[in-house]
């Protein structure tokens, strides 16, 4: 036997969690996919799961994040370049995700929804377990169609390039490329939430009135090598949405001047720029003054991806923790068999069961929404609620999983440290915690009747689960209070957990839905895991389901 060290043999270290089928090992995902009507895709999803679970992709993810992108503002002679160079591993992930269609598979050729949101979500969820930075442009490109749909001419020109599955990272005019990606620029220095305070201005340049010159800045604009950006700027008629390409229609480089890249906590493989627009060419998207309404069509979809991506990160953190606990002995006993560790892992598994079921149920609502007003109402109320809840719990969850691996969890060679640094971003962008809670309140206030119907249907779905009726009553009471804004988080947390219990009722075994409701509806779950009142049997079942041997 090889003895790599002179003083000791290496024993009791868990093997790397690689070369696994990310789909077949995840019973919660399989159940949620079946409940969403996509059980027939199991073989294809399993092939996808095996591919994304490969050791070499895990290694590429490490490389993409250890070699962050570099901004090349000027060339050696002082001419502006304004390009960002990425590590080949990043390009590899872009090519993988685009060939799988994650950036566009939900759209028909005319820009209508293809009804396969849940099917894409299952794939996106597995991808999020491996590499997150590249998913930013994948998400924005997919969501851009929601906003572009309002301008049929622009949509007809751009959608074929958006839908193409042949990633093309070259810096060339979009019409010469095999495929394009689209970013978004809303946030300015003086305000990200309050985009009405935007100072960037837009002036009409063409007689027909849909071509503008834009001057100003954006304080955050991610994935700056996208081929175009949906941007908000102040036109004479008010805040308006625009499509700003990297190249002007005459083939010249457009007036986007990148100032620097953000030095971020996580999300290292992705570039996030500060940018100035100098008379930058752009087409108007939607009417002047309707910018927020137009771009919200995009934001609704990016928020759904934030939910899927956070759930995916939690899933990988859980799988790493369970895998480690099954291979590590402490005091002559496997960690996974120690009663306290088993309760902890089971409580964490329950959280991921919930997040998985909620995300898939929400995506099913997106699929059903075009012909079903009740499902459309669910999408409006539950997207910001799920965005708030799942993205908010992910950082604490990844920390707890890290601790399950002990000291190994804290070092950079492992995947937990990266997940931990990545996790907070989904809660901050695309509407921070308070902002999405206020969005839920606004939607509930604007559409009182539809809101009551959604609440009633959730209670019906969760019928008989402990605490469901009480949580629904609490939400209704909070909604009637004049100071409801101060209690928005409590109302939204209740709504998200109620929707989760209802989703679990429809997809997971009854024992899972019961355990979730007991510990998250009847009792308020604390910030830490492992304190839920789970029986030994429940704990064993949950951990078995969490990582199928």
Ligand X SMILES: Cc1cc2nc3c(=O)[nH]c(=O)nc-3n(C[C@H](O)[C@H](O)[C@H](O)COP(=O)(O)OP(=O)(O)OC[C@H]3O[C@@H](n4cnc5c(N)ncnc54)[C@H](O)[C@@H]3O)c2cc1C
Residues in contact with ligand X by CB under 6 A are 183-187, 191-193, 220-222, 264, 267, 272, 425, 428-429, 432-435, 438
CB of 386 to ligand X, least distance (A): 17
What Rg value do the Cα atoms of the chain yield, rounded? 24
CA 140, 31, 353, 423: dihedral to nearest 10 degrees? Answer: -20
Q: What are phi and psi of 258, to 5 degrees?
A: -80, 130
Which residue number is nearest to ligand X in terms of Cβ? Answer: 192
- Say how far apart CA 398 and CA 317 lie, in whole Å: 6
Please, is 420 exposed, middle or buried when counting C-beta atoms within 10 Å of its C-beta (0-12, 13-18, 19+)?
Answer: buried
And the tokens for 461? 């779905």
- Say how far apart CA 118 and CA 123 lie, in whole Å: 9
Q: Residues with Cβ < 8 Å from 538, sequence gap 6 or more?
A: 346, 511, 515
Closest by Cα among 21, 169, 208 to 88: 169
Longest dimension (CA), the chain: 81
And the tokens for 411? 């070092």
- Strand, helix or coil for residue 386: helix
CA 134, 139, 145, 146: dihedral to nearest 10 degrees? Answer: -160
Q: Residues with Cβ < 8 Å from 336, sequence gap 6 or more?
A: 322, 325, 326, 342, 345, 543
CB of 195 to ligand X, least distance (A): 8
CB of 437 to ligand X, least distance (A): 8
Task: Characterize the bridge pairing of strands 201-204 and 238-245.
Answer: unpaired
Are the CB atoms for 45 and 123 separated by under 8 Å?
Answer: yes
Are the CB atoms for 162 and 180 separated by under 8 Å?
Answer: yes
Closest by Cα among 418, 501, 516 to 463: 501
Q: Nearer to ligand X by C-beta: 346 or 394?
A: 394
End-to-end CA distance of the chain: 27
Q: Nearer to ligand X by C-beta: 25 or 267?
A: 267
Q: Nearer to ligand X by C-beta: 220 or 242?
A: 220
Are the CB atoms for 363 and 36 separated by under 8 Å?
Answer: yes
Q: Nearer to ligand X by C-beta: 323 or 387?
A: 387
- Say how far apart CA 484 and CA 480 lie, in whole Å: 7
């Amino acid at each position: 036997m090889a003895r790599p060290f002179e003083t000791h043999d290496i024993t009791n270290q868990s093997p790397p969690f690689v070369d696994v089928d990310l789909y077949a090992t995840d019973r919660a995902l399989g159940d949620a996919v079946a409940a969403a009507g996509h059980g027939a895709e199991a073989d294809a999803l399993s092939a996808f799961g095996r591919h994304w679970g490969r050791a070499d992709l895990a290694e590429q993810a490490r490389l993409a994040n250890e070699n962050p992108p570099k901004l090349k503002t000027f060339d050696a002679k002082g001419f502006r370049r304004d390009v960002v160079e990425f590590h080949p591993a990043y390009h590899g992930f872009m090519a993988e995700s685009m060939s799988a269609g994650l950036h566009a598979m939900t759209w028909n050729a005319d820009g209508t929804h293809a009804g396969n949101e849940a099917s894409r979500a299952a794939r996106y969820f597995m991808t999020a377990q491996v590499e997150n930075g590249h998913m930013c442009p994948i998400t924005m490109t997919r969501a851009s169609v929601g906003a572009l749909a309002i301008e049929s001419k622009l949509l007809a020109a751009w959608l074929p390039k958006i839908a193409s599955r042949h990633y093309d990272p070259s810096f060339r005019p979009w019409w010469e490329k095999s495929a394009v990606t689209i970013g978004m620029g809303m946030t300015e220095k003086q305000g990200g939430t309050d985009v009405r305070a935007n100072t960037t201005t837009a002036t009409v340049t063409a007689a027909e009135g849909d071509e503008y010159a834009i001057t100003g800045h954006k304080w955050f604009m991610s994935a700056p090598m996208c081929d175009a950006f949906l941007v908000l700027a102040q036109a004479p008629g008010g805040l308006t949405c625009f499509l700003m390409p990297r190249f002007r229609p005459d083939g010249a480089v457009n007036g986007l001047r990148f100032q620097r890249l953000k030095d971020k906590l996580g999300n290292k493989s992705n570039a996030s720029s500060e940018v100035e627009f100098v008379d930058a060419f752009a087409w108007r998207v939607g009417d002047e003054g309707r910018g927020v309404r137009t771009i919200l069509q995009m934001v609704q979809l990016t928020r759904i991806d934030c939910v899927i991506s956070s759930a995916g990160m939690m899933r990988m953190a859980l799988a790493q923790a369970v895998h480690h606990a099954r291979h590590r002995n402490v005091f002559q006993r496997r960690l996974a068999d120690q009663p306290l560790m088993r309760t902890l892992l089971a409580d964490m598994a329950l959280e991921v069961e919930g997040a998985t079921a909620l995300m898939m149920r929400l995506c099913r609502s997106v699929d059903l929404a075009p012909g079903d007003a009740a499902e459309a109402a669910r999408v409006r109320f539950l997207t910001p609620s799920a965005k708030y809840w799942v993205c908010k719990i992910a950082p604490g969850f990844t920390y707890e999983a890290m601790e399950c691996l002990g000291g190994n969890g804290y070092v950079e060679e492992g995947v937990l440290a990266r997940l931990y640094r990545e996790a907070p971003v989904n809660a901050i962008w695309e509407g921070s915690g308070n902002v999405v809670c206020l969005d839920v309140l606004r939607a509930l206030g604007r559409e009182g009747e539809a809101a009551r119907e959604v609440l009633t249907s959730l209670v019906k779905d969760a019928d008989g689960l402990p605490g469901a009726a009480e949580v629904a009553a609490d939400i209704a009471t909070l909604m009637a209070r004049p100071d409801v804004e101060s209690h928005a988080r409590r109302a939204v947390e209740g709504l998200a957990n109620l929707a989760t219990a209802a989703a679990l009722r429809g997809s997971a075994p009854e024992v899972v839905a019961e355990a979730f409701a007991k510990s998250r509806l009847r009792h308020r779950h604390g910030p830490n895991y492992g304190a839920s009142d789970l029986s030994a049997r429940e704990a064993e079942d949950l951990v078995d389901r969490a990582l199928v041997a």
